[in-house]
Amino acid sequence: MSSPLTVTVAFTGASGMPYGLRLVECLLAAGCRVWLLYSQVAQVVARQEMDWNLPGRPAEVEAELSARFAAAPGQLRVFGREEWFAPPASGSNPPDAMVVCPCTMATLAAVAMGLSQNLIERAADVVIKEGRKLVLVPRETPFSAIHLENMLKLARLGVCILPPNPGFYHHPQCVQDLVDFIVARILDQLGVPHRLMARWGEEGADATPD
């Protein structure tokens, strides 16, 4: 029996916390193991966008989200920003994939430059050097030439740049439908099955494709 997919998910300080939290929920529901990292500014964004007081202690976050999403024991692990002995910090124990969602331009730039000043940046560096899947969900508009050059550099390394730009061909009825559209695209990149929305050509998808 194959081991469950292990995915590192990182929340940074860009707008878009609902995407990241829904992604964690869907990964756990699909039976994946999740290693969660989050920045200090992500705590501010969580409070601003979702009225969620994201605790500063990783153990509290782990307990809260494990209970909320009915995670199996050990299925969700949460690590601190300076927890250098955490599994994502070493190429000897890399995840199968990593998603930074939402991803700030500062984090994207740090990853493009190969910086490892905190666990999020180091974890991304490990995933790239070990040839694993890295998905960045950059939430900014408009993009400057600096942003675009950093994205191009990473794309040429095989990193998936997936801006949270929802389509409307599935006739969304609420904000959650728009969130699920993006999370579905992320899950597709990871090869994780889902039923968040109808596939193109299936019943319920009746407009222009992505």
CA distances from 194 to 13, 23, 110, 187, 199 (A): 27, 11, 31, 7, 10
Whether the pLDDT of residue 41 is over 60: the answer is yes
Whether the pLDDT of residue 209 is over 70: the answer is no
Report the helix count and the strand count for the chain, using DSSP H and E: 7, 6
**DSSP assignment letter at 144:** P
**Residue 66 in marked binding region:** no
Q: Strand pairing partners for 132?
A: none
**Residue 105 in marked binding region:** yes
Report the mean per-residue pLDDT for the chain. Answer: 94
**Residue 56 in marked binding region:** no
Collapse the DSSP code of 85 into the 3-class scheme (helix H, G, I; strand E, B; otherwise coil) and give the result: coil
Neighbours of 206 (CB within 10 A): 12
Which pLDDT score, from 0 to 100, does residue 23 have? Answer: 98
**Residue 169 in marked binding region:** yes
**Residue 185 in marked binding region:** yes
Picking from 68, 82, 79, the residue whose alpha carbon sits closest to that of residue 34 is 79
Contact between 161 and 151 (Cβ < 8 Å): yes
**Residue 39 in marked binding region:** yes
98-156: pLDDT as tens digits: 999 999 999 999 999 999 999 999 999 999 999 999 999 999 999 999 999 999 999 99
**Residue 8 in marked binding region:** no
Whether the pLDDT of residue 206 is over 70: the answer is no
CATH number of 6-190: 3.40.50.1950
Which pLDDT score, from 0 to 100, does residue 129 have? Answer: 97
**Residue 107 in marked binding region:** yes
Which pLDDT score, from 0 to 100, does residue 208 have? Answer: 40
**Residue 98 in marked binding region:** no
> What is the pTM (predicted TM-score) of this model?
0.94
